[in-house]
Amino acid sequence: MRRAIALAALIALSAAATAATAAETWKKYADGDNGTEWSYNTDYSYKDKQTGRVVVMKAISKPSANIAPSGPGTGVGFVEALDCDQGNSLLMGAYKPSAEFAINPEWRNGTPKKAEPELIAAVCPTAGKLPVK
């Protein structure tokens, strides 16, 4: 009986982990070099209450090598705050599996850089529907 309960618990934990991973919705916005692709996480996107910028998590993938876009802990990418009107971006943080992910607490004081036009075109048309945090 104990084995059955333990097995049921493991199955439940596995299903929860799979559901959490599946909850991420990545949308491709650009092709990169050598078969790579760039996508952003539509579930993570929101408007920053203080600046009005659109915060997005973007990740690189390589479908030919079965590497899908993913968030911190398993993927490689960046979190940026886009100014849709000015076409610029502030880097908030970067991530990769071998390093702990952290958002720079001073990101709002950074110097804006020109944003990727493909990312602006993909994200900004829906900015008005994003939650404000």
- Structure token digits, residue 100: 């702990």
* Dihedral sign for Cα atoms in the order 53, 29, 25, 17: negative
In a domain, 77, yes or no: yes
In a domain, 72, yes or no: yes
In a domain, 52, yes or no: yes
Total number of domains in the chain: 1
In a domain, 57, yes or no: yes
In a domain, 31, yes or no: yes
> 97 to each of 22, 51, 59, 73, 74, how far by Cα in Å?
18, 29, 12, 5, 5
CA angle, corner 119, sides to 113 and 121, nearest 5? Answer: 115
pLDDT at position 22 is: 52
Residue 53: partners with Cβ closer than 8 Å, 6 or more residues away: 47, 81, 82, 83, 90
Amino acid at 110: G
In a domain, 105, yes or no: yes
In a domain, 10, yes or no: no
Weakly modelled stretches of the chain, pLDDT under 50: 1-21
In a domain, 1, yes or no: no
Beta bridge partners of 37: 31, 61
pLDDT at position 8 is: 36
Range of the domain at 111: 24-129
pLDDT, tens only, 97-125: 999 999 999 999 999 999 999 999 999 99
Q: Count Cβ atoms below 10 Å from residue 37 Cβ, excluding itself.
A: 19
